Chain A
């Protein structure tokens, strides 16, 4: 079945530093990947849609300059939290949808998530 790997699982960083989170589709190609975040006791919320070879689409209220998304290949999307602050501490999770007609097409496969703590 389709598998999505997310790395790192846990990251602790100092305020003001940047953190990169990777989302990889291991056995299928993903034209589109999605990034969500979940604050404690809150719902998972869609942050942005990452399209291979084009700019990401951000949800209202999500700062595109703070959350940089790069989807340079059909198997990898990265989320970089720039100049992280304690309020950015959250659980970030990605999902991927396979290319039409391919493995995992029209089905979302989720990564295991990355817990970011900013001190």
Chain B
């Protein structure tokens, strides 16, 4: 069974710092790896999706990498802002579209 671990569980940093959030998974047979943002009381917002054949994806200040052989993905956030404060989840997709294996998330706080 796929197990996804996210480190750290929580992170508090001053505005402007560059951040790295880590995600590891036990089964390399994932279809893709996705990073989400979850705000309190809100649903999940997809940030980046990396197909199993890809190594990284970028969107604005966000960059996500995937190394299937080592079972790791990282989310890099450049020049963090208070608006980035949220919980960040990574999820590996299994055999079907909705079969996502989520980590417990990293709760990020960026203070001004």
Chain A residues within CB distance 8 Å of chain B = 4, 6, 9, 32, 34, 41-46, 49, 93, 95, 97, 106-108, 110-113, 115
Contact = CB atoms under 8 A, between A and B. Distances in A.
B59 to A, nearest CB: 15
B21 to A, nearest CB: 15
Interface residues of B, number: 20
A63 to B, nearest CB: 19
A115 B44 CA distance: 14
Interface of B: 4, 36, 41-46, 89, 91, 96-105
A49 to B, nearest CB: 6
B72 to A, nearest CB: 17
Contact of A4 (B36, B43, B101): B43
A113 B104 contact: no
A43 B43 contact: no
Nearest to B34: A108
Contact of A49 (B43, B44, B46, B96): B96
B73 to A, nearest CB: 15
Contacts of A115: 41
Count chain A CB atoms within 10 A of each CB in B41, B43, B46, B89 and give the residue with the most.
Answer: B43
Nearest to A93: B43
A44 B96 CA distance: 16
Contact of B44 (A9, A32, A93): A93
B97 A108 contact: yes
A95 B8 CA distance: 26
Given A112-B41, A112-B42, A113-B43, A43 B97 contact: no
B89 A44 contact: yes
B44 A43 contact: no
Contacts of A107: 46
B104 A43 contact: yes
B66 to A, nearest CB: 18
Contact of B100 (A4, A32, A46, A113): A46
